[in-house]
Amino acid sequence: MGGEMRVGIVGMGTISDAYLRTLPRLKNVRVVAVADLDPSRAEAVAARRLGVRAATTTELCAATDVDLVLNLTTPAAHAEVAHAAIAGRKHVYGEKPLALNTTEGRGILTAAAEAGVRVGCAPDTVLGTGVQTARASLDSGIIGTPFAATAFMVTPGHERWHPSPEFYYRPGGGPLMDMGPYYLTTLVTLLGPVSRVQGMAVTPRPTRTIGTGPRAKTTFGVNVETHLTGVLQHVNGALSTLIMSFDVWAGKLPRIEVYGTEGSLSVPDPNGFGGTAQVYREAAPMWTDVRESGGFPDASRGYGVADMARAIAGGVPHRADGELAFHILDVMESLLAAVDSGVAVDVESRCERPAAVPFAARPERD
């Protein structure tokens, strides 16, 4: 392997474009093969990229020149592809969520441990300068002791822009399972793991209509909760309030804010890598921009893969790891259980708060 991790990508859907733009500019990873259920999509990618071949998923997971499988399939296929990669003794990094449920998720982690390979999982947006600068500010004590946070993601729904949005409204989708990982991973990065949750949800629209692409005006059914409100209690005692919605036409809510004994911290959009953090302090009562002080500059999707490759080469933990992704999945599953039961639910799993990213580090050698 040397100092370069050879990557095979399974799933040539919409999100693959972002990874294919990023990975070629990272020095410790190289894409060598791509696969998709529709062979023509994999062949089209291979034809545009020197040194990349099209393959079936079975061939890719068994290939001797693939060290890591990047799993960009829909959530329903995450576990199946992850197990195929692990069976081929490949490290695996997947799109979020880790799996459809914690049973599948734990199965992936157990199989990887037995095979001696690693598991990584999106989102890696928390490795960018936006969230990492907010974390550095929080860790410096600038707002005192944090005791609460808010996290809001409101949109009218992905069917307005995605040409094949049905999977967002099936098990494994919905605003919590789709967008929740960005917000929850940020909250855990800032405040640590979650110990207890409670929540309520509604589904005001039983059908959705595709708004773009060749299937525009096609109507389909909704099989998940599409507006959820939750309260999270972190292990450190802090409380986070969460709203995840595919039903809000417009809102002026902040993305994420953290409240401390001496001030407040505004965190940039966790669905992106950059943005400007702001603080409001008792000693300086106005919102003030925070100078970048943490994170990979100009990061984009794929930096988590490079950070994982660096960590494997150096024998150290990687940041967007499987246990973190499992904890986020456990929090989401527990929230949905709380919605169903109407009572608070304990979150059984724990994870380490990921290591901070030093400012201006490079994912291949920070």
Summarize pLDDT for 283-335 with one digit per residue, the tens: 899 999 999 999 999 999 999 999 999 999 999 999 999 999 999 999 999 99
Beta bridge partners of 206: none
Rounded CA gap, 310 and 338, in Å? Answer: 38
- List pLDDT tens digits, range 94-104: 999 999 999 99
CATH number belonging to the domain at 5-121, selected among 3.30.565.10, 3.40.50.720, 3.30.43.10, 3.30.1330.10: 3.40.50.720
Rounded CA gap, 296 and 88, in Å? Answer: 31
Domain with CATH 3.40.50.720 in the chain: 5-121
C-beta separation of 120 from 318 below 8 A: yes
- List pLDDT tens digits, range 222-274: 999 999 999 999 999 999 999 999 999 999 999 999 999 999 999 999 999 99
Helices (H), 160-302: 174-191
What is the predicted pLDDT for the residue at 331? 98
Rounded CA gap, 224 and 221, in Å? Answer: 10
Residue 346, helix vs strand vs coil? strand
- Per-residue pLDDT band for 2 (boundaries 50, 70, 90) equals very low
Rounded CA gap, 168 and 324, in Å? Answer: 22
Domain with CATH 3.30.360.10 in the chain: 126-289
What is the predicted pLDDT for the residue at 142? 96
pTM, whole model, 2 decimals? 0.95
| Mean of pLDDT over the chain | 96
Could you tell me the fold of the domain covering 126-289? Dihydrodipicolinate Reductase; domain 2 (3.30.360)
- Tokens standing for 134? 């907010």
